[in-house]
Structure 1
């Protein structure tokens, strides 16, 4: 069983303790693959020491954690069997060898799952780490309805059969790990968490995470989608209000609500499709194919949206405009999930 275990360590400017970490993980029965992500010449000795117990792969320049993980996964997939278990480990010493072994055992016992080494954000935790994890956790749960406590952990374990799926996920830097979680939710890959020791060395000073740039990379797709949806909402709401005012006395038995909602949705849907395809998800898929899928979704949302709006306004007696706001809020999340995972799903070049 142990010769099926592979630890993958992406490393950029690692400290001298990485060689000891590699040794300790190997002693628990792992084969080790380290990816040097363009570290400076001053770090050559660290990698030379690690090479005594690991395969060292090298990038000539810094390409980001996501790309380093993909380089390692590609190598592992070509050299090991699909039934191996891969554990990704940070190079800075924050993951203890016994925790590496624990998440590995969990992956061995739960084939097809992604296992996360989950840190409990309690005690003396750097503020940026505590804040970043809290925000990411809430955003992830909001958009996927899945609760993951530690979305930013680098200690993850999974079977080798999942490598092709993970290699196809977009992202070159820290956003890649968040994208993996989003992809798992969309593909129904179960996510399980194992509690691990929380270790931050020297207030996490060795981290290469850029708070502004990398946070933007992590959230940019969701932020762009939200902006596009808000623009579409303004068009939709404006058209709905205009048509409602025009047709208020021209329809009997609430027909004005359905007419106004459908007319407004047609206009906003065309705008939303163009923006999402070209600016948010930057899809390379055939536009006819993606348009058919998008407008199938739009029809489904329109039907559900109209039925709910009719119930809120005509059955419950809610104000036309308040009912519209409530309905749009509910369908926003369903739309994002379907579009990002099934309509405009991006592929690696």
Structure 2
């Protein structure tokens, strides 16, 4: 479609500025979801910018239990958008689902849906970019930041860590796993509503579920914007990090506990058998300790980490086949280290266990406990 030109009086918020702008006509309606908790004027600036730049849009702001003093912001937002209200703060995931349920009832089936942040990190231009790349097929479009230049250290580190864990867990590489700018077709709404998660973990769960179900995820470069060192973010470092990383955290705790059992038995038997003058003390101690600790590890991982629903027989066969393979590698590496560069068997044991940790997680995740994935 040919663009048309609109005369804009850019007034009440941004100061008087009259310009001509070219607006690309779009046939598909666009529903833009903006979850907001205690927003400031940047929300109104974004709504005005979107209204100026884009046509055939329906803006939906979700007030996720913001403080009373912020209600004037939402009253002003009603000039541009439908405002849906939560009586208390349920979390970003729930706010997105509330808006999706609203769209499902109120919008046409050819609607393109966008989720954007309220804190000024996404521009109308970038929202328009992801919309242009969205079709009717089941594809999740991600606004991907380059994360170069002046990026707060915690944001840079968080994205790097999440990107690595995500690739380990799914075998899918995504440059910006923490982006809040996403677009998709109306047909994906039921699928997205069913994904678990109420707060920040919901966005990561969406990526994980799409990766597991083979849904294509396409990254579109957008501007990297962090205002005031990202101080407006309501991300709670400890609570929300746990929600996002809880599987790998639980796996780490299970592995640590199993390691303590394994290491304790290895040390005890190594000292005992050594005092008795037995041959191949290191290998025998390692084998006995691993047999007992692996049984404990299997029970914990099946029930608490991966929450596997497969029969015990199926997962146990695969798990202990993995144990045998890792035990072989573990013992060989341990013997090599003890007889070459690390003669202290206790230090060598720690080094080998660290090396085996990632191998064990990857195989258990994708081949042993995968009935829910």
Tell me which residue corresponds to 1:301.
Answer: 322
Q: TM-score, normalised by structure 1?
A: 0.78
Distance 1:112 1:239 in 2: 52
Distance 1:203 1:217 in 2: 23
Tell me which residue corresponds to 2:232.
Answer: 206
Tell me which residue corresponds to 1:335.
Answer: 364
Q: List runs of 5+ in structure 1 lacking aligned partners.
A: 251-256
1:27-70 Cα deviation digits (max 9, x unpaired): 51322221110012222222222223322211100111122112
Distance 2:356 2:231 in 1: 46
Distance 2:210 2:54 in 1: 29
Checking the alignment, whether the CA contact within 8 Å between 1:294 and 1:343 is kept in structure 2 is no
Tell me which residue corresponds to 1:71.
Answer: 98
Tell me which residue corresponds to 1:119.
Answer: 145
Tell me which residue corresponds to 1:254.
Answer: none
Query: Is 2:40 aligned against 1:15?
Result: yes
Query: In the TM superposition, what is the alpha-carbon distance from 1:94 to its structure 2 partner?
Result: 1.3
After superposition, residues 246-285 of structure 1 pair within 5 angstroms as: 267-281=292-306, 283=307
Give the one of 116, 135, 140 matched to 1:89.
Answer: 116
Q: 1:290 and 1:240, CA in 2 relative to 1: closer, same or farther beyond 3 A? A: farther
Query: In the TM superposition, what is the alpha-carbon distance from 1:224 to its structure 2 partner?
Result: 1.4
Of Structure 1 and Structure 2, the greater helix share is in 1
Give the one of 161, 167, 170 matched to 2:187.
Answer: 161
Q: Which sits farther off after the overlay, 228-237 or 119-128? A: 228-237
Q: 1:303 and 1:115, CA in 2 relative to 1: closer, same or farther beyond 3 A? A: farther
Q: List runs of 5+ in structure 2 lacking aligned partners.
A: 1-25, 340-344
Tell me which residue corresponds to 2:5.
Answer: none
Q: 1:333 and 1:188, CA in 2 relative to 1: closer, same or farther beyond 3 A? A: same
Query: In the TM superposition, what is the alpha-carbon distance from 1:155 to its structure 2 partner?
Result: 0.5
Q: TM-score, normalised by structure 2?
A: 0.73
Query: Is 2:72 aligned against 1:45?
Result: yes
Q: How many residues align?
A: 333
Distance 1:46 1:124 in 2: 29
Tell me which residue corresponds to 2:170.
Answer: 144
Query: In the TM superposition, what is the alpha-carbon distance from 1:294 to its structure 2 partner?
Result: 2.8
Give the one of 75, 85, 88 matched to 1:61.
Answer: 88
Checking the alignment, whether the CA contact within 8 Å between 2:294 and 2:323 is kept in structure 1 is no
Query: Is 2:251 aligned against 1:225?
Result: yes
